[in-house]
Structure 1
């Protein structure tokens, strides 16, 4: 949290006979722990709160202690103020009451801004000079840390909530990957690969945990291996964002170094984090511009690229329907490919099991592959249980709403168990197979799929004909 000063109140000294050696031992033990946490100043104060000793007045029972009372310390302790020559001004709102006024509202998070300063919008690089610094009371010649102001500029620039303004001569950095210390705050486990929303200052983006480097034992400070995050876990993780955000290490800037993660469906805050540093790969990896575009490949193929995403219980008929649809599309001269759950697990995803964390990673990888193949102009059919709505929505967002077609193969669990083509339900019922979707692992039914295929009463040919009409390829 960046706390550097601690008042260590060692209470109930009366129970140990006001023994100075007990106080000294506790104080030294705590200071050793504090050193591992980066706490630089510890003021230990012996107390007997029952009698008020060293709370507001000095204790006659502890003449060996010459330091301040607890209240005196709290009233006189000097809190260091972060002095900065740079400017951090997160835009909270664009104020445009009429055509003659346009101002950028926010609170100066760090530094100083003066009338006449040249400023820069970090994301776009646009520059302008500060014409006025407006407040409710009066215009100001300058504004410093903590001041809530409206900046009026000498020219029109394109900026909105989520942008961060800096001094032009001291630009801020951006990244889409960083290492952070995360405190997990939700009952539902945090999973690698799952998509969340990150809020950093006034900025937001989609984010996912790409690696849990280690969990920290709060009692011993030991680093422990972890595959998931559970309530109250503290862990060092790598995160990847859907777009670059303005950032800094928390030790340098609490405003640009702290963030929260939000569940995209429940909107619950699931974690709080503190950035340690940007990952070097964020600066070294760039998108390569290519001469041949998706539209060129689609023109050559004679049809658009698309991802048809089948989801449903094991035995529902996903692979059967996907195979029949591919045959029909192939007859029409369409370029297609099926990514089947079992086939993928024999190669690309053979290292993954069936825990919730592995299922999330399984779908993340498949979605990335499907996107690449769709970008090649191919019609991709994916046949996976894909039990979690968060990952299906992640795939839809990654691929694009207009290119993603979700098919729910709606077959009852009872019928799937009767079919049981692979014997999986029998194994799950007998306790041989943990994490079986529908039995001892949840399947989240799609709320608004693009197409529902009745896998119990409708023939495959009828389903394929209806899907072809719905797809309009």
Structure 2
């Protein structure tokens, strides 16, 4: 059985027959069990139903479409392939992009009877921007045009025009019928005029996605603990050749780690090459976590900031300053997009933007919560591609490639001050806390905070109030009320609140803060042990009836855009520390708030 794993993905427009083509490939390479074949195709092995072999969800079968990304393995005589069958519908472009972010090559499927479609062009562009340079274009459904060479030649001219903007891309065109199998694994009898390779033969000739750096590098995926001091590590060889008993550098930590008791693909081995799945122990006692690397590469950098080319895929707009989950190799953490510039169709950078729109490419700066081992994509592809994930939905929001590390953290060295946070809290009279009041305008946030403030003064407790309107006269005076500005408003306020809480103050924050993800971001900045989210859940009717500043009236007349509760949403907290009703007696809310302050 081949052990060299080559990763490919399929793409193309809806109804071009990707699922049928790939199912035929799996079927003719003997990669589908007979019982599954019988269940999907029936006793007569109906060739028009072979796409059912990939469409795993009943709802997809009923609609006749593929929605998820199907992952399958199959073997040729020389290679093992990991294949991702990507959907063709425009609304599922992010699935295709996610699959491309891990691929060595792309199989671009085109309906020979229909030619190039808009999604064909879009999928090619995404794959190219994610660093893929090897493409196999399959003229599928060649049977629908009678296996005509003339039609195939005309399609070749169309493909030449399609690839013209991508000068360094390597591509070839293969005629095939997914339904009847011609040109997929076997040549068949219907295209005697074609003397090129079948799809499987062409796959075997494709080179891997190469990196300039081929130093031995292992990414650790799993740690098996066999006792207090005994661990076995499982991982993938990203590049180079791993040698048993050969010392490498452990990242993070920058210390030596010597691989011993090496197993490759389940068997004892002295060496393991790129693509191998390995397990081993370390001669040294080291602090290792999932995502750690063992390497001799000079290209890798530990950094929490980098410049990247980013393709935004989520239907909702992305916002600079908002937190996302980043997956880079086997490393995971939270990250924000701090700056973004649109990249036009000519690959030129345009003006800065704070919102990122679907299927648009950007040059972006990203800042992660912790240092990651990264490398420029051109130098080390496996650690130069990443995915951003929406933490609320778990769906892919964007994919990108690393241009370069900014390494700003190398120049930042916080001073170790003699007076500690604990010392400051003792002076202030207690543990610093942040009470974050959120709710509609007029709900009573500031009124409740003001009364709590008076009670804390009588108790001699050091505290302060960060009120939205007051902050907008100074700290956030440059911000408006767009979604992007609201994100930045909350980030700045949370950073200030954190510093004050670390000085021992009780910080009463009064902000509408309408978006759940942004309040969660504030919690992360401050620290969950100090952060108390308080929902002042006064109804919209009561708030609008109060309207102490006349803002609701103006919003109803259209004079105030993006006004929460009228023409902008408010997302209620899911698990607040406290829920208050501003329409009830003030003393009840005050006593409940003070109870959170007690140490």
Shorter-chain TM-score tier:
0.7 to 0.9
Q: Per the alignment, in what secondary structure is the counterpart of residue 108 of structure 1?
A: strand
1:471 aligns with 2:597: yes
Following superposition, the deviation at residue 222 of structure 1 comes to 4.9
What is the aligned partner in structure 1 of residue 397 from structure 2?
270
1:205 aligns with 2:333: yes
Alpha-carbon separation, structure 2, partners of 1:274 and 1:171: 15
Choose which of 513, 533, 537 in structure 2 pairs with 1:410: 537
- TM-aligned CA distance change 1:151 to 1:72, over 3 Å: closer
Q: Per the alignment, in what secondary structure is the counterpart of residue 529 of structure 2?
A: helix
Choose which of 283, 300, 303 in structure 2 pairs with 1:154: 283
Following superposition, the deviation at residue 58 of structure 1 comes to 8.8
Indicate if the aligned counterparts of 1:134 and 1:152 stay in contact, CA closer than 8 A: no
Choose which of 263, 267, 271 in structure 2 pairs with 1:142: 271
Indicate if the aligned counterparts of 2:210 and 2:381 stay in contact, CA closer than 8 A: no
Q: Which deviates more from structure 2 when the two are superposed, residues 238-247 or residues 99-108?
A: 99-108
- Deviations, residues 266-299 of structure 1 (Å, cap 9, x unaligned): 2222111211111142332333322222112112
Q: Per the alignment, in what secondary structure is the counterpart of residue 308 of structure 1?
A: strand
- TM-aligned CA distance change 1:246 to 1:343, over 3 Å: same
- TM-aligned CA distance change 1:28 to 1:268, over 3 Å: closer
- Deviations, residues 290-327 of structure 1 (Å, cap 9, x unaligned): 22221121122222221111111000011111111111
Choose which of 231, 237, 256 in structure 2 pairs with 1:127: 256
What is the aligned partner in structure 2 of residue 178 from structure 1?
306
What is the aligned partner in structure 2 of residue 191 from structure 1?
319
1:358 aligns with 2:485: yes
What is the aligned partner in structure 2 of residue 290 from structure 1?
417
Following superposition, the deviation at residue 45 of structure 1 comes to 9.7
Following superposition, the deviation at residue 210 of structure 1 comes to 0.5
What is the aligned partner in structure 2 of residue 34 from structure 1?
166
Alpha-carbon separation, structure 2, partners of 1:364 and 1:100: 42
- TM-aligned CA distance change 1:24 to 1:153, over 3 Å: closer
What is the aligned partner in structure 2 of residue 397 from structure 1?
524
Indicate if the aligned counterparts of 1:306 and 1:380 stay in contact, CA closer than 8 A: yes
Indicate if the aligned counterparts of 2:134 and 2:206 stay in contact, CA closer than 8 A: no
1:320 aligns with 2:447: yes
1:330 aligns with 2:462: no
Following superposition, the deviation at residue 467 of structure 1 comes to 1.9
Indicate if the aligned counterparts of 2:209 and 2:381 stay in contact, CA closer than 8 A: no
- TM-aligned CA distance change 1:413 to 1:273, over 3 Å: same
Alpha-carbon separation, structure 1, partners of 2:423 and 2:229: 46
Indicate if the aligned counterparts of 2:317 and 2:357 stay in contact, CA closer than 8 A: yes
1:309 aligns with 2:447: no
Choose which of 557, 581, 595 in structure 2 pairs with 1:454: 581
Indicate if the aligned counterparts of 2:385 and 2:402 stay in contact, CA closer than 8 A: yes
Following superposition, the deviation at residue 135 of structure 1 comes to 4.0
Structure 2 gap ranges (5+): 1-129, 143-148, 177-182
Indicate if the aligned counterparts of 1:312 and 1:385 stay in contact, CA closer than 8 A: yes
Counting matched residue pairs gives 457
- TM-aligned CA distance change 1:58 to 1:387, over 3 Å: same
Alpha-carbon separation, structure 1, partners of 2:572 and 2:290: 35
Alpha-carbon separation, structure 1, partners of 2:319 and 2:548: 30
Choose which of 73, 93, 96 in structure 1 pairs with 2:225: 96
What is the aligned partner in structure 2 of residue 425 from structure 1?
552
- TM-aligned CA distance change 1:423 to 1:146, over 3 Å: same
Indicate if the aligned counterparts of 2:216 and 2:295 stay in contact, CA closer than 8 A: yes
In the TM superposition, what are the counterparts of 1:207-222 in structure 2 within 5 Å? 207-217=335-345, 220-222=346-348
Indicate if the aligned counterparts of 1:122 and 1:172 stay in contact, CA closer than 8 A: no
- Deviations, residues 403-459 of structure 1 (Å, cap 9, x unaligned): 112211111100100011111111111111111101111111112211222100222
Q: Per the alignment, in what secondary structure is the counterpart of residue 296 of structure 1?
A: helix
Alpha-carbon separation, structure 1, partners of 2:582 and 2:489: 24
- TM-aligned CA distance change 1:264 to 1:335, over 3 Å: same
What is the aligned partner in structure 2 of residue 341 from structure 1?
468
Indicate if the aligned counterparts of 1:316 and 1:416 stay in contact, CA closer than 8 A: yes
What is the aligned partner in structure 2 of residue 63 from structure 1?
none
Structure 1 gap ranges (5+): 48-53, 61-66
- TM-aligned CA distance change 1:145 to 1:76, over 3 Å: closer
Q: Per the alignment, in what secondary structure is the counterpart of residue 425 of structure 1?
A: helix
Following superposition, the deviation at residue 369 of structure 1 comes to 1.2
TM-score (norm 2): 0.68
Alpha-carbon separation, structure 1, partners of 2:445 and 2:404: 44
- TM-aligned CA distance change 1:288 to 1:26, over 3 Å: farther
Following superposition, the deviation at residue 385 of structure 1 comes to 0.1
- Deviations, residues 336-385 of structure 1 (Å, cap 9, x unaligned): 21111011111221221111111111111111111112222222111100
Indicate if the aligned counterparts of 2:386 and 2:399 stay in contact, CA closer than 8 A: yes
1:378 aligns with 2:510: no
What is the aligned partner in structure 2 of residue 234 from structure 1?
361
- Deviations, residues 153-211 of structure 1 (Å, cap 9, x unaligned): 223222121212223x8583211001112222222211111111111111111111111
CA RMSD of aligned residues (A): 3.4
In the TM superposition, what are the counterparts of 1:49-128 in structure 2 within 5 Å? 74=202, 78-79=206-207, 82=210, 84-97=213-226, 102-128=231-257
Following superposition, the deviation at residue 110 of structure 1 comes to 1.2
